[in-house]
A and B are shown apart, each in its own frame.
Chain A
Amino acid sequence: GLSEPILTVSLFGRWYTKDSPSSSGGIRNLE
């Protein structure tokens, strides 16, 4: 097994085609 205690085990998915249209970095700076 894993030698040490676990904080998180995750599957982090990015569904790019569903990003909001304003998500092109060229338009604005993210706050």
Chain B
Amino acid sequence: LDTFIAAVYEHPVLRPKATETPVSRDDALLHMNKNIDILERAIQQAAAQGAQIIVTPEDALYGWKFTRETIFPYLEDIQDPRVAWIPCQDPHRFGDTPVQARLSCLAKNNSIYVLANIGDKKPCNSHKSTCPPNGYYQYNTNVVYDAKGQLVARYHKYNLYSEPQFDAPENPELVTFNTAFGKFGIFTCFDILFHDPAVTLVKDLQVDTILFPTAWINVLPLLTAIEFHSAWAMGMRVNLLAANIHHVQQNMTGSGIYAPDSPKIFHYDMKTSEGKLLLWELNSHPRNSPDYPAAVDWSAYATTIKPFPVQKNTFSGFMSRDEFNFTELFENAGNLSVCHKDLCCHLSYRMLRKGNEVYVLGAFTGLHGRRRREYWQVCTMLKCKTTNVTTCGQPVETALTRFDVFSLSGTFRTKYVFPEVLLTKVKLSPGKFEVLKDGRLVNKN
């Protein structure tokens, strides 16, 4: 199939009451089935609208606040897909697996591929030093059932984030599966910030589409779900189906269907407690499509031009825990450069009307934040929270200033650069900007 209809569902998860002690297996099943009841309606709606595949979010059956002990009743033993198993047809072949049987039946009864995120448990030899005290490894796991209900993929999340209830596999798992509408890869939430398995799936295994369940907490100005996930899809030049949890109390919203050339459809809702189903028709093999973007040499432009004047009053400011160098956009239009260590960022711009707002150009290169695990290189033009430049880098959700020209580039030392454009009220701007082959991020026309 040259195209397929993809669906993602932003799920307002019903979270269990926090408990110190594990609930019974029956209570855990009761709770998971309440969430599956909601997912079932979304799956039925998606199938009725012709979707061939649907992604549901990470932690969608039970939420995230657990200890190793309290998550245990929610876990099931999930088989390797090589056993060729249709849980809906053969629910007792591998013990007590009612959740897997029900999810498999949802896929089979609606003739649609379903990705769900559930918990896996694997017994281990307690003499082995890495075997946890209860004798089980516990994994944050994605499962995919095909349109006949067969288990075709199982992925154990590798880059965990504050998940004491789960273990990470010893090595990253490169999980793909083939369909009549392209080759799919899978990873989860925090994985998207790292090379393995995320980049390897695209670069080496050449998947067409990534299935991405997430429970993403939005962090402005750079790491809000719709902004970063759509930018990752553009930077990696791959389809990305992102299904997020909907939980506004913890700033969790932001799902979308993103293609290499631009975001196709997205959802961001901090006002209601409603779920949201998104569908879009995508290219099964985006690399073969005429609008597949050319490869970008991200530093080509920035390393060949003579740097623009670096203004005297460059100043430093923090974005969460990262110290940026900033320079203010004083004039309505201009060319600016600002550097941080060996990263220099260049901006040409023209504002339509300079309101009473302050914008800065910022540069940062270094190990990020408190974790100091990931090495970031960031060039950003952003609105400061107030006209006081000490607020530059703080989260801002609205703006008044329009730009009829911008062109941003940087002397990046990495080829993995993700282009972000975020508009007032936290919206994307599909089709309104592009990345040129020499690495400039420019507004269209």
Contact = CB atoms under 8 A, between A and B. Distances in A.
B298 A11 contact: yes
Interface string B407-424: 011101110111111111
Given A13-B412, A14-B376, A29-B160, A4 B222 contact: no
Contacts of A13: 298, 376-379, 410, 412, 414, 416-418
B369 to A, nearest CB: 10
Interface string A5-25: 111111111111111101101
B308 interface: no
B406 interface: yes
A15 B377 contact: yes
Contacts of A12: 222, 228, 231, 376, 378, 380, 417-420
A7 B199 contact: no
B378 A11 contact: yes
Contacts of B396: 7
B313 interface: no
Nearest to A9: B381
Contacts of A10: 221-222, 231, 378-382, 408, 419-421
A16 B195 contact: yes
B17 interface: no
A15 B170 CA distance: 23
A14 B172 CA distance: 18
A17 B367 CA distance: 12
A11 B432 contact: no
Nearest to A4: B423
B443 A1 contact: yes
B159 A14 contact: no
A1 B376 CA distance: 29
Given A15-B377, A19-B375, A22-B373, A8 B382 contact: yes
A8 B418 CA distance: 13
B315 interface: no
Contacts of A22: 373
Which of A7, A22, A30, A31 has the largest count of B CB atoms less than 10 A from its CB? Answer: A7
A11 to B, nearest CB: 5
Which 4 A/B pairs are nearest by Cβ-Cβ distance?
A1-B404, A13-B377, A25-B159, A18-B375
Interface of B: 157-164, 166, 168-172, 190-191, 193-195, 199, 220-222, 227-228, 231, 298, 345, 352, 365, 367, 370-383, 396-406, 408-410, 412-414, 416-424, 426-427, 429, 432-433, 439, 441, 443, 445
17 contacts: A1-B404, A2-B406, A5-B400, A6-B422, A8-B221, A10-B419, A11-B418, A11-B419, A13-B298, A14-B416, A19-B374, A20-B373, A20-B375, A23-B373, A29-B168, A30-B161, A31-B162
Given A12-B418, A14-B377, A23-B373, 7 more contacts: A1-B445, A11-B419, A13-B417, A14-B374, A15-B376, A16-B199, A30-B160
